[in-house]
Chains A and B, each alone.
Chain A
Amino acid sequence: MEYFDFPSAIVSMIRSAPVLMFAALAGLFAERSGVVDLGLEGKILASAFVSAAVGYTTQNPWLGVAAGVAVSVAIAMVQAFVSITQKGNQLVAGIAINIAMSGLTFVVAQYIFQQGGRTPDLGAARLSGIEFIGTEALADVPFLGWFWGKVLGGHSALVYLAFLLVPVVHWVVYHSRFGLRLRACGENPHAADAAGVSVERTRYLAMLIAGVLCSFSGAYLSIVQSGFFLRDMSAGAGYLALTALVFGNWRPLHTVLGCLMFGFFTAVQIQLEGKEFPVIGAIPGSLIQMIPYVVTVIVLAGLMAKSVAPKAVGKPFVKSR
């Protein structure tokens, strides 16, 4: 097909999915423990800015990533304090964090760099792709050259981390002691409490993990994908990650499939932008961008599959006496 370059769409899917994957897996820990994480967006944004700012200032991307982790964890702890200790409205806390971070990142970026709320280009401090051995030798071999050089190789370390995390998270959630407690706190916190599990501690720990995972999403966005921080650059990625979570029924493998699907749609949208088709003409990018959301609503309506959230999600745990 001349309209659509499938191999390059696959490659761009692999490159754009990690933003969603990190955030969705972060959301998975939070929500499986019973805390709604609507604040993914704000944490992504904060981490994207801090990673870029520190990465640029120190000219070391890894210091940037570390700083991003620190700030994202700090926000996650505020969120945990409000949601768990204060038993506040978790949805509101998340939205508040998103709005606050959208403003604060711009203000601080503008104050420090004076470039209209942007950070300078990271240049050499950007994380670059890892080229596999033998890429050049295979470059001209059909399929294999593409598969070895572009699908498997050529990505930055964070991409590999994202994909490695999938089986790890699956194992932690379903086969570890912590995972059992995590799921118990999200499904039936009173039973977990009766069994001697500290619901508060488990939820705090889950939020801590969520903070760390979510920060990679932001760092990936600024240090790998664009090479700078831009105002509101997360552009709904946090919400889309949540969508993938709903889509995947709060299960790690399915959620990641959802993320890959969204990544694929992004690639398709970029490729089809402005291309003229026979009969229907050009398909506007805005309509293609809509597809993941429409699909999710259909899933939510139970027409494709029934999505079942953890039972206690969003409900503050009040120990019964």
Chain B
Amino acid sequence: MKTTELPRWATGFVLPVLNLLSALLVAALVIHLLGESPVESMKILIDSAVVNPEGLGYTLFYASTFIFTGLAVSIAMKAGLFNIGAEGQMYFGGLGLTLAVLAFDATLSPWLLIPLAMLGSAVFGALWAFLPGYLQAKRGSHVVVTTIMFNFIAANLMNFIIVKALLPEGEQNPASRVFTDAAALPTLNAWFPVFGDSPLNIGFPIAILALVIYGVMVSRSSWGYQLRATGLNQHAAHYAGVRISRMIIVAMLISGALAGLAAVNSIMGSTHYLSLNFPAGAGFVGIAIALMGRQHPVGIFLSSVLFGALIQGGFDLSLEKPNIPVETFIFIQGLIILFCGAMENFYAKPLLKLINATRKG
């Protein structure tokens, strides 16, 4: 039997792997041109990011942040919205979290403070996503352009807020004061000493929980059905009784809240203070993760771990090989986004031919 459509295992697994390999091939070529051995570099990268347990802890720590930004972009994508603003929403989430912690970290116990800070980050992230969502739903202003604008506005506004309001007296470094220990997320190495000094913390299981909730909400609930219907065909969904503009606004609010929550792991799990530009591109990585993971919980998890490993392994590699600075991995990220996101069907045709050929024979 000839088929004109690729089976699910091919689109869900084979294509992403082929795309990823293509991106890594280009990256290997660049590393070769920089005068280093791609095979040796790959070995160092895998060793320090996955094989070494402490390195794995770091990998999973970065992955926890990326799971949240990946989920944020994914849920918006399910509704047909391309949220480029996860970066700004995460930045504002960090503000919400910091305000809650600064107000209460001297008085509340961690059991109350941590949930409160999480709530603060989710609310502020959602607020920052509200206007782009509202403008898209009610006035048709394209969410891509507005969220880009909101990223820039967030960057400037946060710069102003941190310097004007949060900078402790006499400090030069633009950052808030350091939180007390009550605001520190418990690290996992207390239970699993193998993770050593890595900042892996309860943010990781919380991220896994978020993945499960996302999976159930999107694929199993009637709300998720309406969400997907909106994304697939707005007109059809509208005739089926979905309130489109409300759906768009709600999807953007949830997306913003998830992006805001990404700040919890990176601030309360590691730095313990709000600093300038702390998201450091995690919001943009979320776009890559959503695309590569095809908005599926398992896919989001795997691609988050991949990007976490690239950051952790890349950092160690840059220490050993001065010709391969950390920025090389920004380039590789871009390549992965290009191959897995924009050229996702590059291998679809040949693969289809191959499948048909094997079936005939």
Contacts and interface: CB of A to CB of B under 8 A. Distances in A.
B153 A290 contact: yes
A103 B334 contact: yes
8 residue pairs, one from A and one from B, having the closest CB atoms: A100-B334, A103-B330, A103-B331, A99-B334, A96-B338, A88-B342, A93-B342, A96-B337
Interface of A: 38, 82-83, 86-93, 95-104, 106-107, 110-111, 117, 231, 236, 239, 242-243, 246, 284, 286-287, 289-290, 293-294, 296-297, 300-302, 307, 309
B337 A86 contact: no
A246 B284 CA distance: 22
11 contacts: A91-B84, A98-B334, A100-B330, A100-B334, A101-B331, A103-B328, A236-B152, A284-B164, A290-B152, A290-B156, A297-B153
A290 B331 CA distance: 28
Interface residues of B, number: 48
Contacts of B300: none
Interface of B: 30, 34, 82, 84, 131, 135, 139-142, 144-146, 148-150, 152-153, 156-157, 159-160, 163-164, 281, 284, 287, 291, 323-325, 327-335, 337-338, 341-346
A100 B345 CA distance: 20
Contact of A91 (B82, B135, B139, B335): B82
B287 A95 contact: yes
Contacts of A95: 84, 284, 287, 337
Contacts of B343: 82, 86, 88, 93
A90 B133 CA distance: 21
Which of B148, B284, B324, B345 has the most chain A CB within a 10 Å cutoff? B148
Contact of B34 (A38, A89, A107, A294): A107
Contact of B338 (A93, A106, A287, A293): A93
Given A99-B284, A104-B331, A111 B34 contact: yes
A110 B82 contact: no
Contact of B345 (A86, A102, A111): A86
Contact of B150 (A82, A103, A297): A297
A11 to B, nearest CB: 25
A166 B333 CA distance: 36
Contacts of B324: 107
A92 B287 contact: yes
Which of A99, A231, A286 has the most chain B CB within a 10 Å cutoff? A99
Contacts of B30: 104, 107
A165 B77 CA distance: 38
A92 B156 contact: no
A89 B329 CA distance: 22
A155 to B, nearest CB: 28
B146 A297 contact: yes
Contacts of A302: 139-141
Given A88-B344, A89-B344, A302-B141, 5 more contacts: A89-B342, A101-B331, A104-B30, A297-B141, A297-B150
A309 B145 CA distance: 11
A70 B149 CA distance: 30
A284 B331 contact: no
B181 to A, nearest CB: 32
Contacts of A239: 148, 152
Contacts of A91: 82, 84, 144
